[in-house]
Chains A and B, each alone.
Chain A
Amino acid sequence: AQKITQTQPGMFVQEKEAVTLDCTYDTSDQSYGLFWYKQPSSGEMIFLIYQGSYDEQNATEGRYSLNFQKARKSANLVISASQLGDSAMYFCAMRPLNTGFQKLVFGTGTRLLVSP
């Protein structure tokens, strides 16, 4: 079974500052993928960044980077230079790779509020 834990219900950050959203995971799969999604109040889940368990380098996508520490089973999202539009719910998720099954397991999310 897979499990995602997000221990920060809410985070506050000032515009232009960096913020780290925590995510730890548990799985017995050898090959897995880790994902971060952003969910604005409109409801749509927007894909931000992906990290494969065998990727040696941390993933980056623009202002988003994923701090992957495999031994600690953590996959924290770092948002640099926060913007007002970054205010939303953020979900960490995972799924096994190299199988035909693509079920995503999500955490409970972190609400990020960016203030001017």
Chain B
Amino acid sequence: DAGVTQSPTHLIKTRGQQVTLRCSPKSGHDTVSWYQQALGQGPQFIFQYYEEEERQRGNFPDRFSGHQFPNYSSELNVNALLLGDSALYLCASSYSTGTTEAFFGQGTRLTVV
């Protein structure tokens, strides 16, 4: 049973460019959340998708947007990249109900130059 998979694992982009990160949830999970983890910090919640809609959003600008597909996979898009967007981006999947834990992928390390 595959866990949460993210692609790509590493990415280098130039300021002002746009980037798309991808996530496939653990089998059976219907909810996907995205987190940004800056160096030396704990992960910060970006947003969560359920039933193809954004259900909850953290304190991130509109440059950060996402999508969830019918198969529950998800994309995170970041427009007009800034140097400060350099971070590890983590995807987590879970069931929509209950008290179960979220499972995380290995992350995408984004470097903006």
Q: Which chain B residues (15-42) contact chain A, with CB distance < 8 Å?
A: 31, 33, 35, 40-42
- Asked if B109 contacts A100 (CB within 8 A), the reply is no
- Asked if A45 contacts B90 (CB within 8 A), the reply is yes
- Asked if B56 contacts A43 (CB within 8 A), the reply is no
Is A57's CB within 8 Å of the partner chain B? no
- Asked if A44 contacts B106 (CB within 8 A), the reply is yes
Number of interface residues of B (CB under 8 A): 28
A92 to B109, CA, bound (A): 22
Query: Contacts A33-B99, A44-B106 hold; do A104 and B88 have CB atoms under 8 A apart?
Result: no
Distance (Å) between the CB of A12 and the closest chain B CB? Answer: 18
A105 to B109, CA, bound (A): 21
- Asked if B41 contacts A45 (CB within 8 A), the reply is no
Ordered by A's residue number, 17 sampled pairs between the chains whose C-beta atoms are within 8 Å are A33-B99, A42-B106, A43-B106, A44-B104, A45-B104, A47-B102, A50-B99, A91-B43, A93-B42, A100-B50, A102-B31, A102-B56, A104-B33, A104-B102, A106-B44, A108-B40, A108-B42
